[in-house]
Amino acid sequence: MIEINNATMDFRRESGGSNSLKEFVVRLLKGKLQYDRFRAVDGVTAQIKKGEVCGIIGRNGAGKSTLLKMIAGVLSPTDGSIRIHGKIAPMLELGAGFDQELTAKENIYLNGAILGYSRDFIRERFDQIVDFAELREFVDQPVRTFSSGMMMRLAFSIATQVDPEILIVDEILSVGDSHFRQKSEGRMRQMMSGGTTVLMVSHVLGQIRSMCDRVIWLDHGKVVMDGDAKTVCDAYEGLIDFDNAPKFEIGHHMDDIQRILMYPDNWLPPEGSYKIKTGPMGLVSGNLRCPFDDLTGKEKISISLDCNEDEEPIVIRVTEEHLSFEVKGKPDTVVTVHIKSNFHRSPGKDERKLSVVLEDTDGN
């Protein structure tokens, strides 16, 4: 079992920054260095039960890996507490203990020792490690000659030779090619079937959906949602990644959309008009999606579009729960999306939720 109680992690970072090591040293000697506090994990509380498989999702910088390092004991919380009941095996940075000048065989013993394996244990499992990594013919080669995929395969094979009570996994199921990813996922499932408690981070929602019973969604170090895998993943898929999304021209309701996406339990769907712009290839698409399954039939959403070019926007799919559109036009064509809905609060019932997704279909 893992008990996380108001866990918080603060880091110090230099205010203003130094452009070079020389500038940093000069500012240090003159006593002019100033630091800000950066909160990576902010008051997280959760309890992971024995045998539970829990996924952690969120955008880059949400605090996922930091939280795993806190649970693994690599970092100590600035505030709050984390209690671990059981033997823990962290898989955080595969291959971190490799010596590039040593052979794969030598690194198996070295990396195994770092993970706490005895020499006899490694000798007994040596053939299994090499064969699972599919590196039999390269075992006497220095790992500096290996590709990153080969090193990841070797590191994963070494790290999964134990059957811990608690397994901490950070983005390791993406190692290697598709063939090895299937093998590594199978190895993980085998460990889970033995009753191992698993806490895993992955950006691949398909893996999270298929492997996890429960999902915690983090953003800016805080828990946004904590529940069953389907509910949380459906809500997360409605999130606009503002850093990676194309630079749409959005109207004044953008803040409301962002709040719905970030805090789906507390906001109602907005009505209004939103301006978007086609990308370099003249394409843009969008979805209105209701991430719940208990529609009564009374909820209605409508969408209409206006285009400032001759090309008319095309609505390519309309269903009871899903409205989609695709616009084909010239680059930088401005399209106005009009949204109407009759969603409202129902006293004593969960608030209805609507997510708005605007995505680039140019492949950018």
Q: Summarize pLDDT for 14-68 with one digit per residue, the tens.
A: 555 555 666 666 666 666 666 667 889 999 999 999 989 999 998 888 899 899 9
- 103-107, 109-113, 318-322, 360-364: segment of lowest average pLDDT: 360-364
Mean pLDDT of the chain: 71
Q: Do residue 27 and residue 112 come from a single domain? A: no
On the question of pLDDT at 282 being above 70, the answer is no
Q: Do residue 98 and residue 192 come from a single domain? A: yes
Sign of CA dihedral 54, 59, 60, 63: negative
At residue 354, the pLDDT reads 40
At residue 115, the pLDDT reads 77
Can you tell me the mean pLDDT for 81-91?
85
- Tokens linked to 80: 């709050």
At residue 141, the pLDDT reads 93
For residue 268, the 8-state DSSP code is P
DSSP string, 68-82: HHHHHTSS--SEEEE
| Domain count within the chain | 3
Can you tell me the mean pLDDT for 324-333?
62
Q: Do residue 121 and residue 52 come from a single domain? A: no
Q: Do residue 168 and residue 182 come from a single domain? A: yes
Q: Which residue has the higher pLDDT, 290 or 64?
A: 64
What does residue 268 show for φ and ψ, rounded to 5 degrees? -95, 160
Q: Do residue 150 and residue 222 come from a single domain? A: no
Can you tell me the mean pLDDT for 166-192?
78
On the question of pLDDT at 213 being above 80, the answer is yes
State how far the Cα of 233 lies from the Cα of 56, in Å rounded to an integer: 10
Domain span at residue 161?
91-211
Q: Do residue 104 and residue 36 come from a single domain? A: no
At residue 140, the pLDDT reads 94
- 93-97, 207-211, 349-353: segment of lowest average pLDDT: 349-353
Instruction: List alpha helices for 147-198, DSSP H.
Output: 148-159, 178-193
For residue 312, the 8-state DSSP code is P
Q: Do residue 117 and residue 258 come from a single domain? A: no
Q: Is 38 exposed, middle or buried (0-12, 13-18, 19+ CB in 10 A)?
A: exposed
Q: Do residue 263 and residue 327 come from a single domain? A: yes
pTM (predicted TM-score): 0.58
What is the CATH classification number for the domain harbouring 218? Answer: 3.40.50.300
DSSP string, 75-125: S--SEEEEEE-S-EEEESSTTTT--TTSBHHHHHHHHHHHTT--HHHHHHH
Give residue-wise pLDDT tens across range 101-144. 999 999 999 888 877 888 999 999 999 999 999 999 999 999 98
State how far the Cα of 1 lies from the Cα of 8, in Å rounded to an integer: 19
At residue 347, the pLDDT reads 40
